[in-house]
Every structure is written in structure tokens, then in C-alpha cells.
Structure 1
Amino acid sequence: MDAPALFAYLAALAAVYLLPGPDMALVVATAGSRGARPALVTAAGIALSRAMHVALSGMGLAALLQARPEMLGAVKLIGAAYLLWVAVQLLRSDPAGAPSAPSAVPAASFLRRGFLTNLLNPKALLFCSLFLPQFVHAEAGPLALQYLVLGAVLVLMGLAFDIAFALSAARLGRRMRRSSRFGKFVLPGVFVLLAGRLLAS
């Protein structure tokens, strides 16, 4: 990939990752309510899911979803239901957001939540299938290798942004945890809105 194409690819990814969405909301919410380490584990789960989306789009699953609207609708319903479930879990948690025993919540639960939040968002899979092929060119070498490299850049750049969001939100976490309204109502409301947006998209 030449320099202008690489710059365009990185700039487009940066613009996408700066847009608010379920992944950003989950990382920020986790950092604000639980701290940096759980948020970083959540970010790792999201990165694993993005890698799976890249692989699935390369296998043609995204094209199948586009050709079968009923399947896409079913995935949207499942994804929205999961976001609503996250909202319910936040409502049921300690309003202060910080449990008295941090070890009571295993790291695997944060990894799983990050993984499922991204995996059950069909827009992430469709994005990979529509975005990556624009930067794959037959004259540039083996197509599979190009797709692999572009996908790795997508995953790593997304992880870098999520880490930045996690660390920034964790710095404000103590202040947010003192706000019972933030922990009890604002964060669940964000996930309810995201579920609605996913269904309406």
C-alpha cells in the first residue's frame, strides 16, 4: 500500500473509532465504574471480536447477511437484546459502581462482555466487509495476505483507541463513582439508546 492509501486507511479507521458506539460506551462505562484494569480486559474482548469479524467477512458471512435481510434482522434483535441486558445489569449493580471486593467479578466476565457486545453488532461485520476490500488490490500481491495485514491494523488500531478511552475514563472514574445518578441511570440509559439505534439502523 502506498503512502496516500495508507494515510486514507488510517484516517478512515480513526474517524470510525472516534464515533460513539456500543464499544466505546462499554469501555468508558467499565472504566468509570470499575477502573482501568477491567476496562482494559473489556477492550481485549472487543479486539478479539473485531478479529473474528475480519475473519468472518473474509469468509463471506457478511455478504450472506446482506443477501438475507431476515438473518440480519435476527442478529440485530439479538444484539439489541444483549445491550438491554447490559443496561439491566448496570441498574442492578451498586449505584456507586465500585464493589467492595473487586476480585468478586472475574476478569473473564469483562472479557466476555466486550467480546459479545462487539460480536452481536452486525454493523461491525458489515463494516469490515465493505471497508477492507476497498484497500485490497490484485497488483499489490497475494489478496489473502493483504486482507490479513489490513485486518490486523484494524484490530490493533481499535485496541489502541479503546485503551486510550479506558485510561482517560479511569482518571475520571473516582468522580463518576461518587455520582450515583451517573452509575445508576446515565450509563444504563446509554445502552438502552444504543439498543434502539441498532434496531433502527
Structure 2
Amino acid sequence: MDITTIGYFLFASVLLTITPGPDFMFVFAQSVSQGKKAGIATGLGLCTGLIAHTLAAAVGISAILYQSSLAFTIIKVAGAIYLLYLAIQAFRENSEPEQQKVKKYSMISLYRKGILMNILNPKVSIFFLAFLPQFVKVSNGTIPFQMIILGLLFIVQALLIFILLSISAGKVGEKLWSNATVLRWINRLKGTVFAFFSLRLLLDQK
């Protein structure tokens, strides 16, 4: 694969990653409410989920998902329900600063949430199926292998952006943790964001 193609791909990938969407907002919300380590753990989970979507696009599973309305709907509903579950959790989080500091260290839980959130979003699979082939050339060798390489490049740049986002948003959050009222509103905002993306995913068509 030539450097020019990779350069165009990375440029487009960065623009797509920094556009506020479920993943971006999820990392931002966790970083503000529970610290930069929570945001990084969430970002790692989301990027791990992207590995599954990359492999699915490379072997053609995403194409099957695109053709099957039933499969798409089942995964879409499951993803919407999971986002709604996260919204309810956020609304119910305790706003006391002391308890918030204890919660922020459950990194494994946040990592798992990130994985599930991405895997249960069929639109990510279809996005990869539509996006990656635009930078694939038959003359460059095996197409599935090229798509895997591009998918891994996308994951690396996304992870770097999520880490930077976590650090910057975490610094903002550190200044707010001492205020129980502010924490309560942060949790409500986080719950509202998850509920919004749950509804949007449920109503979206392929």
C-alpha cells in the first residue's frame, strides 16, 4: 500500500473519529465523571470492539449483516437496550465525591462496557464495510489483508485520540469532583447522552 493512500486514509479516519458520536461522547463522559484512567479504559474497550468489526468487514460478515434486515434489527435493538442500561446506570450513580473516587477504579468494567457498546452497534460494521474498501486496490495484493491493515490503522489513531481526549477531559473533571451538585448534573448529562444515542440507534435505518 502506497504512502499517499495511507495518508488519505489516516486523514479521513481522524476527521471521523473526532466528530462527536457515541464513542467520542462515551469516552468524554467517563473521563469527566470518573477520571482520565476511566476514559482510557473505555477507549481501549471501544477499540477492542473495532477489531471484531474489522475482521467482520474483511471476511464478509458485515455484508451478510447488511443484506439481512432481521440480523441488523436484532443487533440494533440489543445495542439500543445496552445503551439505555448505561443511561439508567448513569442516572442512578451516587453524586457524593468520596464514592465517585472509589467507582473510578473499576477499569475492567469500563473496558467491558466499551467492547459491548461497539460490538452491539451494527452500524459500525456497515460503516467499516463501506469505508475500508475505498482505500483498497486490487493491485496491492489480498483484499481482506489490506482491509485488516487499514482497520488496525484506524484503531491505532482512534486509540491515540481517545487517550488525548481522556487526559484533557479528565483534567476538567478533577476540578469538578469536589462539588456534589456539579457531579449530580454530570451524571444526569451522561445519562441523557446515552439515552439519546440509544434512541437514535433504535430509530436509525441501515
Corresponding residue number in structure 1 for 2:62: 62
Task: Decide whether aligned partners of structure 1 residues 193 and 70 sit closer, same or farther in structure 2, where only a CA change above 3 A counts.
Answer: same
Show the counterpart of 1:182: 185
> Is 1:95 aligned to residue 95 of structure 2?
yes
Task: Indicate the percent of aligned positions where both proteins have the same amino acid.
Answer: 29
Cα shift readout 1:94-135 (whole Å, capped 9, x = no counterpart): 125662552785321011011111111111111111111111
Cα gap change, 1:42 to 1:173, in 2 (>3 Å):
same
Q: TM-score if structure 2 supplies the norm length?
A: 0.89
Q: What are the superposed Cα offsets for residues 135-155 of structure 1, whole Å, 9 maximum, x if unpaired? A: 111111233332222111011
Q: Give RMSD over aligned pairs.
A: 1.9
TM-score (norm 1): 0.91
In structure 2, the partner of 1:132 is: 132
In the alignment, what sits opposite 1:77?
A: 77
Q: Which one-letter code corresponds to 2:16 in the other structure?
A: V
CA contact (8 A) 1:22 1:118 kept: no
- Corresponding residue pairs, total: 201
> What CA deviation, in whole Å up to 9, does each residue of 1:148-198 have, x standing for no partner?
221110111111111111111101002443313432321111111111111
Segment drifting more, 6-15 vs 119-128: 6-15
Unaligned runs of 5+ in 1: none
Q: 1:136 touches 1:146 (CA, 8 Å); kept in 2?
A: yes
Paired residues for 1:16-35 under 5 Å? 16-35=16-35
Q: 2:196 aligns with which of 193, 196, 199?
A: 193
Which residue number corresponds to residue 45 of structure 1? 45
Q: Distance in 2 between matches of 1:3 and 1:24?
A: 27
* Contact kept in structure 1, 2:79 and 2:198, CA below 8 Å: yes
> What's the CA shift for 1:60?
1.4
- Contact 1:33–1:98 (CA<8 Å) still a contact in 2? no
